[in-house]
Amino acid sequence: MLAPNLEPSEKPVATASTFFTAPPTSCSNQKRLRPRRYRLNCRKNHVRSLGGNDEGRARNRRRVGLHVRAKCAAAVSMSSYAWLALEFMDRADTGPNFFAGSYIDRHSDAREIPEWRAHAAADPATLYVAVCGTTQLVYREPAPRIAFLHADHPLVRAASDDQLALLGWFRGTRCMLIELDAADRAALPAGAHFEELRVVAALLPSDEAGLLAYARGLSIWRSRHRFCGTCGAALLRERAGHVLRCSNAGCGVEAFPRIDPAIIVMVTDGARALLGRQASWPAGRYSTIAGFVEPGESLEDAVVREVAEETGVAVHGIHYHSSQPWPFPASLMVGFQARCAPDAAIAVGGELEDARWFTRTEIDAGAAGLPPSHSISYRLISTWLAGTHRE
Ligand SMILES: [Zn+2]
């Protein structure tokens, strides 16, 4: 089954070999250091900054080597803004995944207040996250950030209740979703434009990326569920935009935001990692095995089935690692670690074009192009490289 964490439209991330031939344009050392020396210099400095004892330093060297390569690759592929995204790349072993965490107080009880829209309008501090189709409103200059609208903006004042939803309190301030369409572009603030989250996410502050992921997931669900699946009548938006209820009084079915659970798993045989690739991915990219959970399956069942279908490998010793909202359009990635027998034979199947075993040394040397650094797959791989993988 298609691995939802990696889609063909994803912007390619350069591999280590790309970096060796094309140093990042934002690197202040690029004029006086050769690429490889630059990488080694970064690596040494980052290891030093991490501190710790000799044992910890050896582990950090492996972890930092991966991070430095990802950081440089990000700079190559995205622009100088990529350096703003370095913050989250240093969280391989701790903290929430990108798009997750306590970036907002949802305050869900406020959705039950009938005057939710009037309260937002009366509060001049209220922030409005604007969406148009699958895109969200952002500024690119001087640095990528959300282009919030405010209560006095003509598009906000003219909006109907159906265009709005209460998201919660972001950085302590009430925050709303406002759905616009292409005809509204002319009225947008100067410099603001709609952009796909997949393209801009890694460049945003992590809490803003989380907020846009939330807004994207909610708005796509609302836009794609307009009629009752039971009787076909139109759906009405209720509870501050978070519930859709059938307008047919004889039916009255309520619909709640749809989320599609998918497993993603780092499989090892003790010494090597099992990674696969789809034909549509950028050349050389390999990632952890992933797939959607099916009806009647537990998450663990899905791990066993997906790995067997895609690679022919039987796994055991399954442990939960972490999860990540992935609103492209509605996935929740549930990350696991699992073991298999040493030297297990691979039989490629399912959606994969190839699957291979990789040692830490091979990955560290760039033998596999890694997934985007804000993805849970990257975190699962980097955790294993760092030696903190649960065996
Ligand atoms: Zn109905």
Distance in Å, CA 251 to ligand 1 centroid: 5
Question: Which of 45-54, 190-199, 271-280 has the lowest average pLDDT?
Answer: 45-54
| Digit-coded pLDDT (tens) for 170-186 | 999 999 999 999 999 99
| Other CB atoms within 10 A of residue 298 CB | 10
SS3 for 313? coil
Distance in Å, CA 243 to ligand 1 centroid: 14
Local structure of residue 113 (DSSP, 8 states): -
Distance in Å, CA 234 to ligand 1 centroid: 8
Rounded to the nearest 5 percent, the helix, strand and coil shares of the chain are: 35, 25, 40
Distance in Å, CA 283 to ligand 1 centroid: 47
- Whether pTM > 0.85 for this model: the answer is no
Distance in Å, CA 256 to ligand 1 centroid: 14
Question: Which of 45-49, 116-120, 374-378 has the lowest average pLDDT?
Answer: 45-49
Distance in Å, CA 141 to ligand 1 centroid: 46
Helices 376-385 and 54-78 pack at an angle, to 10 degrees, of 150
Residue 157 has pLDDT above 60, yes or no: yes
Note the pLDDT of residue 93. Answer: 57
Distance in Å, CA 252 to ligand 1 centroid: 6
SS3 for 334? strand
Distance in Å, CA 297 to ligand 1 centroid: 28
Distance in Å, CA 246 to ligand 1 centroid: 5
Nearest to 14 by CA among 369, 374, 376, 380: 369
Distance in Å, CA 232 to ligand 1 centroid: 6
| Digit-coded pLDDT (tens) for 363-377 | 999 999 999 999 999
Distance in Å, CA 231 to ligand 1 centroid: 4
Distance in Å, CA 247 to ligand 1 centroid: 7
